[in-house]
Amino acid sequence: MKPKFVRTFVLFILFVSFAMSANTLMAESGSGPFVVVIGAPAAGKSDSSEMVSEMYGIPTIDVRKELLKVVKKEAAKTSTSHAFRNSKRGAAGIKRRQAMQEAVKKLEAGELVSDDSLNALVASHIFDPASSGGFVLDGYPMTVSQAEFLDSIVEVRGMTPLTVIYLNVPDEVALQRMKDRGRVDDQSDFAEKRLATFRSMIGPLLDYYGEDMVTEVDGTQSRSKVAADVSEGIEQR
């Protein structure tokens, strides 16, 4: 089988397996869940977020991908003409693009991105009507201050309670997965720095949320077992 077909087939099987429980949850609450997926680089956050999105029919907010989209969008806006680039509007666009480019560079280098950049990006998606019925947040929050900001806006939107899924994998597994997928920010120097940055943040973040809000899932399990544990964690909250 081709990889794309296998991926689609597995997603379909998982969707059928958990459709009944997902439909029950939505019938009771009137909406899908509000989920945060956290974990080390290459812990499987994007994969798990995609599965939750498929199972519950809710959008995924992938912070890294959204940062890249903003950079490309601003680049397109500010490269149209010399006159536009030199106007106030063009100058503001260039400044936004530079700020987002800097944020992407920091993410790739394993450094912390400013709260302002990420908070504004996340808020724009959470206040989007498409997220009102539920969402999966991938790659955010990374710090306690970001978690506090997230709590404040979901409370305003009535999007409580949040379900926090923590995908836990050993460092050696995360490093090997980063090496295998070969992304620019997965190169050895960056990979170790990104992992060290994550380890310095995850303890305080888990303490902030507490055991009542966090479901810890073994990210080294099979894809189907991870999906089952994630789904169970969502329903139990």
Q: What ranges do the domains of the chain cover?
A: 23-236
Please give the model's pTM, rounded to 2 decimal places: 0.74
With contact defined as beta carbons under 8 Å apart, do 110 and 186 qualify? no
Residue 2 to residue 11: CA distance in whole angstroms: 14
Mean pLDDT of 121-134: 93
For 86, which DSSP code? Answer: T
Split at pLDDT 50, 70, 90, the class of 122 is very high
Among the listed ranges 114-118, 121-125, 208-212, which one has the minimum average pLDDT value? 114-118
pLDDT of the residue at 152: 95
pLDDT exceeds 90 at position 147: yes
pLDDT of the residue at 118: 87
pLDDT of the residue at 32: 74
The position carrying tokens 């990210």 is 219
pLDDT of the residue at 150: 96
Mean pLDDT of 67-76: 70
Please give the span between the terminal C-alpha atoms of the chain, in angstroms, as a whole number. 37
Residue 52 to residue 46: CA distance in whole angstroms: 10
Domain formed by 23-236, architecture = 3-Layer(aba) Sandwich (3.40)
pLDDT exceeds 60 at position 95: yes
pLDDT of the residue at 69: 79
With contact defined as beta carbons under 8 Å apart, do 119 and 149 qualify? yes
